[in-house]
Structure formats: C-alpha cells, structure tokens
C-alpha cells in the first residue's frame, strides 16, 4: 500500500500550487525510506542553461546537503547526468582519481558506495537521483529496481509539469500581446486623423515617441486613448526631435 501511494504522490504534479523543491524533497525522502539504513538520497534538476541544482535531499544534516551540492558539479552524479547512463554500485574507494574532492568529503561522512540514476526520457535528461550508502551491499537489486521505477515515474511527471508550465507561459504571453494590441490599434486610429488617415505614419509617430521616452508602445497607446497624450503632442515632439 505504501509503495502504491508513493507512486501516486510522485505522479501528482499537474496542480496549480506545484512546488518543485517540495516535490524533490518528498521524493528523496520516499526513496531513502524505501532503501532503509543510512542512505542519503538527493534529487538534482537542470535549469534552462543545463546546469544541475539540488532541489531535494533526504537528510537534514547540512554537511550532507553540502556534499550533494558538490555532487552536482563534481562526482558520479554529474557524470551520469552528462552521459545519461546510470552508475550503479560505484565504490568510492576506487573513485578517488575520478572525483577527488567529492570522494574525500563523502568518505569523511562515512559513505562507501554511490548509485546514480539519470532522470531521462528518450533523449531528454532533466536531472539525476543520487544515492549514497555507508555499506557496500546495503541496497538490494530489487530495491534499486524499485527506485529506478520511481525515478522513471518522477521524470515523466516532471516533464509533464514542465511542458504544462511552458504552455501556460506561452498562453499568458499571447494573451498579453493581444491585450496590448487593442490600445495600439485604437491609438493608431486616433492619431491617423492628424496625419490624413495614414495608419502607418500614425504608428511611426507612436513608436518614435515610445522609444524616445523609454516606454512600452502599449503604454503610450493607452495614454493616447485615455487622452493623457494627444496626437498633437506626438507631432510636436516629433518635430522637435527630427
């Protein structure tokens, strides 16, 4: 029952108040609970520039969070994210030459083995889930397979949420563009009366005035529609700066 509820919780990202950091922290805690022992689990996600940032860590110890932050820059987690290939059962004793700073800090905290599972769907990798354990054989194959299934579910859920957010952002931008276009067209009609009905000339007057005053075109257009700026004001300003 716990496992089923966990999968449902992981998949529940399409909500208005979705919080990525809270989701990542809950996910990391669920994975740590599944693995048991003193496992530390971290979830790192990439930003728009492709840089990894840790959003959730199962442990409250600040030194472990610091280790996970380093892990996203130097360590098996960074490598797994870059290649898109999982790293399972990586002994830290044999990894000192690969990631010297990370291994030294991890071993000081008592960790002996690392598992790295990229959050990847087809060719898109959006993050990595890192598992650090203090025993070489602490995680069974079955447990790791369950974690990988959770990672796959989380990846799909986060991709859906990311695409939904982008769709909503685009819709908002289009709505704002449409709303700004209405006063611009109205202002063009008002100003065109002063320039013999030439809509293009009216638009150029508006645009030059907005640019000279470092204001959005829609703002100037609204001022013209409300009467705060007249067509005559535009013409006189244009003559004084031509």
Report the SS3 class of residue 52: strand
Reported as a single tens digit per residue, the pLDDT across 105-154 is 999 999 999 999 999 988 889 999 999 998 766 677 888 888 898 888 88
pLDDT of residue 1: 47
Position 7 pLDDT exceeds 60:
no
Whether residue 31 is predicted with pLDDT greater than 90 in this model: the reply is no
For 182-232, the pLDDT digits (tens) are 888 888 888 888 777 788 888 888 988 898 889 888 888 998 888 888 888
Q: pTM for the full model?
A: 0.66
CA 181, distance to chain mean position in Å, is 30
- Enumerate long-range contacts of 181-188, CB under 8 Å, 24 or more apart: 181/218, 183/218, 183/221, 183/222, 183/224, 183/225, 184/217, 184/218, 184/221, 186/221, 186/224, 186/225, 187/220, 187/221, 187/222, 187/224, 187/225, 188/221
Mean pLDDT of 36-44: 86
Strand, helix or coil for residue 165: helix
Question: Hey, what domains does the chain have and what are their CATH numbers?
Answer: 2-166 (3.30.450.40), 174-240 (1.10.10.10)
């Amino acid at each position: 029952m716990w496992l089923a509820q966990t999968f449902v919780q992981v998949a529940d990202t399409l909500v208005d108040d979705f919080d990525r950091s809270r989701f990542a922290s809950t996910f990391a805690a669920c994975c740590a609970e599944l693995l048991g022992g003193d496992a530390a689990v971290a979830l790192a996600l990439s930003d728009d520039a492709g840089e990894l940032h840790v959003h959730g860590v199962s442990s409250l110890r600040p030194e472990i969070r610091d280790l996970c932050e380093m892990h996203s820059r130097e360590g098996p987690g960074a490598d797994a994210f870059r290649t898109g290939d999982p790293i399972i059962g990586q002994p830290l004793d044999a990894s000192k030459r690969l990631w010297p700073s990370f291994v030294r800090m991890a071993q000081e905290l008592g960790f002996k083995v690392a598992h790295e599972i990229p959050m990847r769907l087809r060719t898109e990798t959006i993050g990595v889930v890192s598992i650090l354990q203090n025993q070489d054989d602490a995680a069974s194959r079955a447990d790791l397979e369950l974690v990988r299934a959770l990672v796959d579910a989380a990846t799909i859920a986060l991709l859906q949420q990311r695409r939904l957010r982008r769709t909503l952002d685009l819709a908002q931008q289009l709505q704002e563009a449409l709303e700004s276009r209405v006063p611009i067209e109205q202002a063009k009609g008002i100003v065109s009366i002063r320039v013999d009905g030439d809509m293009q000339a009216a638009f150029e007057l508006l645009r030059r005035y907005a640019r000279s005053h470092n204001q959005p075109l829609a703002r100037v257009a609204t001022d013209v529609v409300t009467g705060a700026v007249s067509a005559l004001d535009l013409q006189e300003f244009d003559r004084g700066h031509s």
